């Protein structure tokens, strides 16, 4: 049976702050960050938004597209994030309640830095294929934080995407195969109770991001017997605009195939939402029969790769919810002091 994506949805908060404005506050050279990272601005959550609210909005959009799926047919909800609002109390339970899916389903919060949600997609895939559930939802959402003045502050952003996984005629993106590649690599971490993550500078490149993204993608292609030429689109995890471009080049994917799914320049690194928002942007334009290669990356470290074939069903479902570009372009800019208030950078009274 065909198993894959039956619905997808995106949500990006509307506030933005320009990289140049952050640099100005810290006395950094704005251009070296803008050009070096390939990012102009990043998305900032409103005072009343968090990972849970973003996850709900994205999932509601996904369920609009997965129109054949009734709430009671969903057997699992996964929320992958590194900014779950509670350290202990599952985001997925709130999402399940907000979507009217309760009570006969499982709800799970996952963590693996930026690949928490693609990991969850594999779990949904397994549950559906094994016949344990009819449909499962995997959501990647984050309201990422970087320490003030740190390099990460330029990229840590907020956003999310949700995927309804199932089978049958409603599948719009068949998941032909998946592979994961995991090693213990301390490139980026956050200790329990610490407010901001730490990273190992340039070490986050070669031995971390590239080692995993490239190795995982190669392994999947070999497993399926496909080559970069067989794909019309490629989406990688997007911590900045440069890393995905270099990975594509190394693997032999043409740069033009990266374009549709590369949105980090306008919204920043949405962490668990990053590669999945890229995939959503691709599904907004992909035609039946086209193929997408998706590889996520999570620090610590690991990658998940997926080979996805778009089906005929996409044309009748795509327009049921807003496209990623709508969320990218509907924005309101704020200054650093407003941003500081929103991100609670001031010590609490």
Partner 1 sequence: MSASGVPRHWRSMRERYRLLGTYCENCNSTFFPPRKICPRCRRRGRTKQVEFSGRGRVFSYTVINVGSETFEEYTPYVVGLVELEEGPRVMSQIVECKPEDVRIGMEVEACFRKLFEQKDGGIISYGFKFRPVDNSWADYYKKLSAERRAEAAESTK
212 tagged catalytic:
no
**Which of 41, 49, 84, 114 is flagged as catalytic?**
114
Nearer to partner 1, 164 or 328 (CB): 328
Specify the pairing of strand 173-185 against strand 3-11: antiparallel
Nearer to partner 1, 202 or 287 (CB): 287
Binding site for partner 1 (CB under 8 A): 14, 46-50, 52-53, 56-57, 60, 85-86, 94, 97-98, 100, 284-285, 287, 318-319, 322-323, 325-326, 330
**Which of 179, 237, 290, 342 is flagged as catalytic?**
237
Closest distance to partner 1 from the beta carbon of 86 (Å): 7
Nearer to partner 1, 24 or 344 (CB): 344
216 tagged catalytic:
no
Q: What are phi and psi of 242, to 5 degrees?
A: -80, -45
Nearer to partner 1, 56 or 164 (CB): 56
Closest distance to partner 1 from the beta carbon of 50 (Å): 6
Closest distance to partner 1 from the beta carbon of 326 (Å): 4
Closest distance to partner 1 from the beta carbon of 82 (Å): 17
Closest distance to partner 1 from the beta carbon of 279 (Å): 17
Closest distance to partner 1 from the beta carbon of 57 (Å): 6
**Which of 82, 153, 211, 290 is flagged as catalytic?**
82
Nearer to partner 1, 52 or 270 (CB): 52
Nearer to partner 1, 191 or 349 (CB): 349
Closest distance to partner 1 from the beta carbon of 121 (Å): 22
179 tagged catalytic:
no
CA neighbor of 178 nearest in space, from 123, 97, 258, 256: 123
3-state SS of the chain is CCEEEEEEEEECCCEEEEHHHHHHHHCCCHHHHHHHHCCCEEEECCCCCCHHHHHHHHHHHHHHHCCCCCHHHEEEEEEECCCCCCCCCCHHHHHHHHCCCCCCCEEEEECECECHHHHHHHHHHHHHHCCCCCEEEEEEEEECCCCCCCHHHHCECEEEEEEEEEECCCCCEEEEEEEEEEEEECCEECCCCCCCCEECHHHHHHHHHHHHHHHHHHHHHHHHCCCHHHCCEEEECCCCCHHHHHHHHHHCCCHHHCHHHCCHHHHCECHHHHHHHHHHHHHCCCCCCCEEEEECCECEEEEEEEEEEECCCHHHHHHHCCCHHHHHHCCEECCHHHHHHHCCCCCCC
Nearer to partner 1, 42 or 342 (CB): 342
* Contact between 42 and 156 (Cβ < 8 Å): yes
Q: What is the rounded CA–CA span in Å between residue 113 and residue 299?
A: 6
Catalytic positions are: 82, 114, 237
């Amino acid at each position: 049976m065909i198993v894959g994506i039956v619905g997808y949805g995106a949500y990006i908060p509307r506030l933005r702050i320009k990289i140049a404005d952050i640099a100005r506050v810290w006395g950094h050279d704005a251009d070296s960050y803008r050009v070096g990272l390939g990012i102009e601005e990043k998305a900032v959550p409103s005072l009343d938004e968090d990972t849970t609210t973003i996850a709900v909005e994205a999932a509601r959009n996904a369920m609009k597209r997965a129109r054949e799926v009734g709430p009671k047919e969903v057997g699992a909800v996964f929320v992958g994030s590194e900014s779950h609002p509670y350290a202990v109390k599952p985001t997925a339970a709130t999402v399940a309640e907000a979507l009217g899916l309760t009570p006969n389903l499982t709800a799970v919060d996952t963590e693996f830095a930026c690949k928490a949600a693609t990991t969850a997609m594999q779990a949904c895939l397994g549950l559906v294929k094994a016949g344990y559930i009819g449909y499962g939802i995997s959501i990647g959402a984050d309201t990422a934080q970087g320490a003030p003045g740190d390099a990460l502050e330029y990229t840590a952003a907020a956003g999310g995407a949700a995927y309804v996984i199932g089978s049958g005629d409603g599948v719009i993106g068949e998941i032909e195969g998946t592979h994961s590649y995991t090693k213990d690599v301390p490139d980026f971490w956050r200790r329990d109770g610490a407010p901001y993550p730490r990273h190992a500078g340039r070490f986050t490149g070669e031995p971390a991001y590239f080692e995993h993204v490239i190795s995982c993608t190669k392994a999947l292609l070999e497993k399926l017997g496909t080559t970069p030429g067989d794909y019309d689109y490629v989406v990688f995890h997007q911590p900045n605009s440069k890393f995905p471009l270099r990975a594509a080049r190394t693997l032999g994917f043409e740069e033009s195939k990266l374009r549709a799914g590369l949105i980090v320049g306008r919204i920043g690194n949405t962490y668990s939402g990053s590669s999945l928002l890229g995939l959503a942007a691709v599904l907004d334009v992909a035609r039946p029969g086209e193929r997408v290669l998706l590889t996520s990356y999570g620090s610590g470290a690991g990658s998940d790769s997926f080979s996805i074939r778009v089906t005929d069903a996409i044309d009748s479902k795509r327009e049921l919810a807003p496209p990623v570009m709508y969320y990218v372009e509907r924005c309101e800019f704020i200054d650093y002091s407003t941003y500081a208030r929103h991100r609670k950078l001031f010590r609490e009274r």
